[in-house]
Structure 1
Amino acid sequence: MDTVKNETQTSNNIWRIETADKSQWVTVQAWARDEGWDLGIGDADAFFEVDNEGFFIGYIGSQPVAALSMVNYSSEFSYFGHYLVPPSFRGQGHGLRLFQSVIDHCGERTIGLDGMPSQVDNYAKWGFVAHRNNQRLVGQLQQDYACPAGIEAINESLLDEVIHYDASCTGVNRSALLNRWFSGDDRYGFVCRNGQGISGVVGIRRSQEGYRIGPLFADHPDDVGSLLLAALSVAPRGALITLDVPEKSDTRLFDLAEQYGFESIFHTLRMYRGEPPKEQEHKVWCIASLELG
């Protein structure tokens, strides 16, 4: 059931905020598609498993006018995403009003986000500090690829090991997210190994416009290409592929993406309010999603 967070009178209409369920969130997913965010199909199912009280929509009367998510991963870390206002309702303060009303959902947790450059100054006013750039890379698959030897598909028996490896890379326990991330219709995951266990992981799933890759983590740069090929092997020729790649000194993934015909179409900034998680940045080659990090 929806929870009304607050109500104020605005221009003879009632402004209210509701905690959204998945059926209401379909509206927000449509807004995101209109804005070109290319959300993963089925991502909302995984997102709501993390914190089903962390999705909010602001209304004027019965009209939804703003949305955002403030998802609590743990007692120490939250993620801010899906910050959307339809074009016809922008410039009226609805997004800010929504943010100010629901930020307390995060308590004293560190909050992460991936934001557009045009919003960075606003985020800075709210206490967020820029950490790095992520490039949105997009390309059309020009041929069929085979999964390289030595790469294993993720199944239920590997999931605990994958979750542990993910936490070692990100500094965050994302078990609630990952329990459903690599399984379901048109959702896949792969790992590579060294003598000590998993040394890399990649996921790919259908998206609103094609396929979206993420995460892609690897201990060693030499494994990045094999993991990328494993992901590409499940997508059909002609599919549009999207990935969000952190900028860093090792440009291995950017170089590979360029070889496959990918190009950057925009960039976002990873920002934090509070102490950032202890991420192993040299292992993070592609993030899982802009919406939940």
Structure 2
Amino acid sequence: MTLSPSGQVFHQANRDEAIDHFYTWSSSEQWNPGHKGLDIELLHSADPKGFFYSTVEPSTDNKDDQADAQTSPHPKKDEVVSIVSAVRYGDDQGWIGYYIASPKYRGRGYGLATFTRAFDHLTPDTRESIGLDAVMAQVQNYRKSGFTQSSWLNERRHGSAVDLVETQERELADKITMNEVEGLVLLSDPKVDLEQLPGIEARYCGLKRAKFVKEWAQFHVNHADHHRFGVAFLSSDKKDEQSGKPLVLGYACVRPATSSYRVGPLYATDGDVAKKLLVKLAIEVVQAEKQSSLGVPLVFDIDIPDKNLAAVKIFDGLGWKNTFPCLRMWKGKVPEHDVNGVFGVTTLEIG
């Protein structure tokens, strides 16, 4: 905990505080976080020291502060006024997310002060690349803070999982259901080499975070009771040199959120593999919902890069509209990446 000259107190959120503040606040902003905050614990574990919130110590002797309090509300003692995450990945990457100030106290600098404190967590050592996904209204403000580079514009595509499997891709869905699509398996299948997944993400989107990627995959493995699923597409003739297992040509995950199911990531060598992975996820979710309803709408939200023309073609063809654009921005070097393999990013919250 640290205290600013203005009386603002900065705290590093523990697990329970992260679940409380970051899930509650992102829900109130209609960011559609994971169902009941089940994914916040995993996101927090990516960097337990990287989740910050701030409160303001009420002034008792400053007449100017007392006068201001008569015309505008002053935060109560221990009332949270802003949150932000600043997650470290290795020695040279970081990610800013969950940047929210309380609507009651916006315009007073509380959010920016917390952002600055969190940013300090990323920069004691040299950080080659620090990224974030910026809502369009804040792009210019982030540029003023040094985020002058960008890699792509995310488009949040939104569509019905039921229509996907029962109407739009009925033929493909029937083949998948009958196990007639060779190589398409759940991540829980013993043929899947989970050790390949971090390399796939690093190659396609540029983030190097092996521990988180494997934990994220495990979060989606064998959790049908929570309606979380992971799927992979395996090569029929190519093997990984180290494990001897089939080469993973793509993988994808889906989890229930507040107002939809969120797909992420969706990495694939091409559009054909990507569509098979997407339809497989939809089949699993629709079947799970029929067996035991969570009450989450059977629609998918997926954030795709505008520069991946194959991804744009898939979702344009499905009629899934872009409901929430945001710009992937960087301070420092843009990591090397191959956007043509990114058919859906992992999360906007921590990259």
| Fold in common (TM above 0.5) | yes
Q: Which moved more, 1:235-244 or 1:49-58?
A: 235-244
Greater mean alpha carbon deviation, residues 83-92 or residues 161-170: 161-170
Which deviates more, 186-195 or 252-261? 252-261
| Cα distance, 1:247 vs structure 2 | 0.2
Aligned to 2:79: 63
1:102-113 to 2 correspondences below 5 Å: 102-107=118-123, 108-109=126-127, 110-113=129-132
Task: Tell me which residue corresponds to 1:7.
Answer: 3
Aligned-residue offset at 1:46? 2.1
2:241 corresponds in structure 1 to: none
Secondary structure, counterpart of 2:207 in structure 1 = coil
Give, in angstroms, the shift of residue 144 of structure 1: 7.0
Identity of aligned residues (%): 26
Gaps of 5+ in 1: none
Distance 2:273 2:189 in 1: 23
Residue 100 of structure 2, aligned match among 84, 105, 109: 84
So what's the TM-score if we normalise by structure 2? 0.76
Do structure 1's residue 121 and structure 2's residue 140 form an aligned pair?
yes
CA distance in structure 1 between the partners assigned to 2:140 and 2:164 by the alignment: 43
| 1:171 corresponds to | 206
Aligned to 2:110: 94
Name the amino acid aligned to 1:106: L
> How far is 1:229 from its partner?
0.6
| Structure 2 CA distance for partners of 1:255 and 1:169, relative to 1, 3 Å | closer
Match of 1:21 among 14, 20, 24: 14
- 2:64 aligns with none
Q: Are the aligned partners of 1:17 and 1:59 in contact in 2 as well (CA < 8 Å)? A: yes
Residue-by-residue CA offset, 1:158-183 (whole Å, 9 max, x unaligned)? 32122332233233332222233223
Any idea what the Cα deviations from partners look like across 1:57-84, whole Å, max 9, x if unmatched? 0112300011110000110100110101
Q: Which has the higher strand share?
A: 1
The answer to whether the Cα contact below 8 Å between 1:49 and 1:176 also exists between their aligned partners in 2 is no
Corresponding residue pairs, total: 285
1:267 corresponds to:
325
Deviation by residue 1:193-218 (Cα, 9 ceiling, x = unmatched): 22331111111111121210010111
Partners in 2 of 1:226 and 1:104 — Cα distance?
42
Larger fraction in helix: 2
1:199 matched residue in structure 2: 249
Unaligned runs of 5+ in 2: 57-76, 166-172, 239-246, 290-296
Corresponding residue of 1:132:
152
Q: Any idea what SS the aligned residue of 1:38 has?
A: coil
Separation of aligned partners in 1, 2:92 and 2:131: 11
The alpha-carbon distance between structure 1 residues 249 and 57, as it changes in their structure 2 partners (threshold 3 A), is closer
1:46 maps to: 42
Deviation at 1:266, TM superposition (A): 1.9
Aligned-residue RMSD, C-alpha: 2.0
2:49 alignment partner AA: E
User: Could you say which structure has the larger radius of gyration?
Assistant: 2
The counterpart of 2:194, out of the listed 132, 150, 159, is 159
What does the per-residue CA deviation read over 1:128-173, in whole Å, with 9 as the maximum and x for residues that have no partner?
0233210112223334734732311112853212233223323333
Q: Does 1:284 align with 2:342?
A: yes
Q: Is the 8 A contact 1:203 1:216 kept in 2?
A: yes
Q: 2:308 touches 2:339 (CA, 8 Å); kept in 1?
A: no
2:300 matched to which residue of 1?
A: 241
Distance 1:175 1:7 in 2: 34
Residue 43 of structure 1: how far off its partner (Å): 2.3
Q: Which moved more, 1:170-179 or 1:253-262?
A: 253-262
Q: Is the 8 A contact 2:85 2:118 kept in 1?
A: no
Q: Secondary structure at the match of 2:311?
A: helix
Pick the aligned partner of 1:190 from 222, 228, 231.
Answer: 231
1:228-258 Cα distance to aligned partner (Å, 9 max, x none):
11121122375121111110151x3334334
Q: Is the 8 A contact 2:266 2:343 kept in 1?
A: yes
Mapped to 1, the partners of 2:260 and 2:153 lie a distance apart of 24
Distance 1:138 1:86, change over 3 A: farther
Tell me how far 1:123 sits from its aligned partner: 0.6
CA contact (8 A) 1:201 1:216 kept: yes
Query: Does the residue aligned with 1:180 lie in a helix, a strand or coil?
Result: helix
